[in-house]
């Protein structure tokens, strides 16, 4: 009986240690799977965030170039290059229209990862856009008035002077939007460098 007891004890100890080994192995496997899942999830989020940042940076750069082209067009009008300025202004406005139609699809995803409200508040983004729109409306009204006036040179001269002043004012209005874009680009570049 003593030998049989020893066999049972040995078998029980062997079975118990095998069971403990299996349980420990399973726990280690579960922990490794959890780490692997987190690593894959982080990789997916990083890839998505990178794609979103690249799209936004591309849009912001196009918008920045467009604002600068609008500014140059407005100031070219001051320098006496009226036809040239109006042609460039027309092209820039068409490009602006295209850009702002694309903005929701290219920019909205960035707000999942970033909050630019402080930048927008610092430069009074909404007021700046309202100011730009107001000046564009005034310019459009003035251009229509200039085109409808007969050959009254005094009236046309006054209207053209007013147009020049409005265009200069419009060029100045773009500075807030340019500063917003530059700061947002700096934030995105800086954050992306840190992420790497």
pLDDT attached to residue 16? 80
d(CA 168, CA 64): 18
Q: Which two tokens stand for residue 44?
A: 């997916």
Backbone region of residue 11 per phi and psi (left: phi > 0; alpha: psi in -120 to 50; beta: other values): alpha
Distance of CA 30 to the CA centre of its chain: 39
For Cα atoms 34, 38, 41, give the angle at the middle one, nearest 5 degrees: 135
- Residue 182, classified by CB atoms within 10 Å of its CB into exposed (0-12), middle (13-18) or buried (19+), is middle
d(CA 183, CA 168): 24
Q: Angle, nearest 10°, between helix axes 82-107 and 2-78? A: 160
d(CA 116, CA 178): 14
Q: Report pTM.
A: 0.75
Nearest-Å Rg of the Cα atoms of the chain is 33
Please provide residue 152's backbone torsions phi and psi, each rounded to the nearest 5 degrees.
-70, 95
Query: Which contiguous run of DSSP H or E holds residue 150?
Result: none
d(CA 56, CA 50): 10
Q: Are 88 and 182 in contact (CB under 8 A)?
A: no
Dmax over Cα atoms in the chain, in whole Å?
129
80: number of Cβ within 10 Å: 9
**Domain enclosing residue 133, as ranges:** 2-195
pLDDT attached to residue 121? 92
How many domains in the chain? 1
- What residue ranges of the chain have pLDDT lower than 50? none
């Amino acid at each position: 009986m003593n030998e049989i007891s020893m066999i049972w004890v040995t078998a029980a100890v062997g079975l118990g240690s095998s069971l403990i080994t299996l349980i420990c192995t399973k726990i280690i496997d579960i922990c490794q799977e959890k780490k692997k899942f987190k690593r894959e999830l982080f990789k997916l989020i990083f890839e998505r965030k990178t794609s979103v940042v690249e799209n936004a940076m591309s849009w912001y750069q196009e918008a920045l170039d467009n604002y600068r082209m609008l500014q140059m067009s407005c100031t070219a009008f001051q320098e006496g290059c009226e036809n040239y300025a109006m042609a460039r202004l027309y092209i820039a406005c068409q490009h602006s229209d295209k850009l702002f139609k694309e903005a929701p699809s290219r920019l909205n995803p960035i707000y999942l990862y970033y909050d630019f409200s402080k930048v927008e508040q610092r430069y009074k983004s909404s007021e700046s856009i309202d100011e730009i729109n107001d000046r564009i409306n005034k310019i459009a009204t003035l251009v229509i008035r200039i085109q409808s006036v007969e050959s009254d040179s005094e009236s046309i001269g006054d209207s053209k002077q007013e147009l020049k002043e409005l265009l200069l004012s419009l060029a100045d209005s773009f500075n807030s939007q340019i500063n917003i874009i530059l700061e947002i680009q700096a934030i995105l570049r800086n954050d992306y460098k840190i992420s790497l």
